[in-house]
A and B are shown apart, each in its own frame.
Chain A
Amino acid sequence: MNATDVRISKPVDTNTYPSWLSAIAALVCMLILWQVIVSITQVPAFILPAPLAVVTTFISNFSLLAHHASITLMEILFGLLLGTLLGVTSAITLTLSTSARRWVLPLLVVTQSLPVFALAPLLTLWFGYGMGSKIVMATLIIYFPVTVATFDGLRHTSRAMIDLARTLDASPTATLLQIRLPSALPSISSGIRVATSVAPIGAVVGEWVGSSQGLGFVMLQANGRMQTDLMFAALLCLCLLAYTLYYLVNLMLDLALYWQRDSLSAARDIQ
């Protein structure tokens, strides 16, 4: 074999099945294990209901769960929207203003050491038992990750790009809107992804502290009446809601970051 015969082969992809299939397989395995444990130990249903009982309760109480899930979903969506808007606005202010960085940033970091859940009773007191307090709770939980991710993205815009914009006589507003914000979009997306996964926690914790509607309320009521199967059904509903929301947000962000998709496929083509 001479030197010209040397070839570098591509790494072989050993995963021949899609990732969603392995996720479903893991879930089925977990459910089987759960069913087996319940059958063997004969644990009472009010302590640990069997998965089949949970599914039956989920189907028979579907309209009740759907009604309460729609309330929780509204709280999550409004919280997500408000938290993202406030977070991005704050990050832009912190990036553009030295005084804001000096005075507000340390305050922001210090307030994050305070667990937001501890504020839930206060928020209920201030904003009432309705949707308002839950939206504020979700907004507060979302605000910090979005602010930090956006601020980080805006700060790390390539200096060469900013220099180029200056030599092209771009105004600071044009540089912000056409260069800095799109450059920061991957970081902002990371912040929104984190926010989407924690927003349901904010809404449900708010409902636990004081509410008359929502999945958190259903859980509390079911717990008080020892309807553990309904509690699990509400939990299943919350999981489905959170997962669907995360999936849709992820899809939208992937569409918004179209150039990253193209660069990945270009990199694959080069390989």
Chain B
Amino acid sequence: MSAAAGDPRLAGARRAPRRRMRLSWSDPKLRTIVWQVVILGVLAAIVCYLAANTSRNLSARHIATGFGFLAQPASIPIGETLLSWTPSVDTYGRAMLIGVLNTLKVAVVGVVLATIWGTLIGIGRLSGNWLIARLTAIYVETLRDVPVLLQLLFWYTLLNALPGPRQAFHPLPGVFLSNRGIKIPLLEWQPSHIWVLLAAVVGVVLTLLWRARAARRQAMSGTRPAVWPIGLLLIAVFPVAVWAALGAPFALDVPALRGFNFRGGGTITPEYAALTLGLVVYTASYIAEIVRSGIQAVPHGQWEAAAALGLHRGFVLRHVVLPQALRVIVPPMTSQYLNLIKNSSLAIAIGYQDIVSITGTMLNQTGQSIESIALVMVVYLVFSLSISAFMNWYNAHIALVER
């Protein structure tokens, strides 16, 4: 734009004048205002009519409005919770919070696993091995064309058909598969573990600083100091050293069969396992296609051009192909993540207590249908908006990197 410096069009001494409005039907501005008033008016009238009906119906059924019920004690039995829960003592508000956390528990684990599994399947579809390519293609075709609800019911039935605790499968030491769920050993938390975590965080921060320094050094001198040995040292060895220095505190809570059930250890309930498994397996079939088309979207000429510059494969993948593929992959991936979160609401069909399921119970107990449904919708909208905000930021970020 250097030539534009003398361009009188950019002088900016004069600005566009504002338009005035006339009172005539052939004035477009007036017309648009009238149109909007009419449309909004009709809608407002409909909404008022429905609202009037609703308030009349509510008063006829003696249902109070408002969110006061959230502070009342709830007698919902909740089997699976990340917070403590005492029925008939804790409030509806707390029950909803537990529901939100349960939804998040499925969503976070589901998104991570579906991404990994879907990417593997997607790469498999491009495999030179005919068998792998065919099998992954069949996987994608079949799972996409069967409703996810049916798949969830299927997995749930399958997990419930596992033998009882006494005949439980025992694939690994400390792991039991039975119709009570999956039992796994848990690490017993000890106060000194906090230092190990802190050491890991410090290691990550120092590695990032070292990387930035390496980049600066490369820009100045042309040679780049190796990053990964230092990174490995800081992120892996350092926390282990801290742990050892503290006397290596370590204890496992291993599940064991006592009578008719297991004691100790952690439990993955059949409901949670079926829901997560079903969602991962289903969503992965969509993610696979996204990954595949993303990789195929990068023209082969890019590999050739980079090879002609004398860059080696790993570098080309990291700095040339991946950024371009990600630009194609990220937007549809976002909507798949959102779909997974929305589909997690099917938990209600197999009895996992997510936000929708708990709200459903709450709705039946209190009759506060409007408030309950509105709350659920707000929760999902917050999820949706925050994921799309994050993905927009990420998109802008990789667009910048590319330039």
Q: Do the two chains bind?
A: no
Seen from chain B, the residues whose Cβ lies within 8 Å of a Cβ on chain A are none
Contacts from A to B (Cβ < 8 Å): none
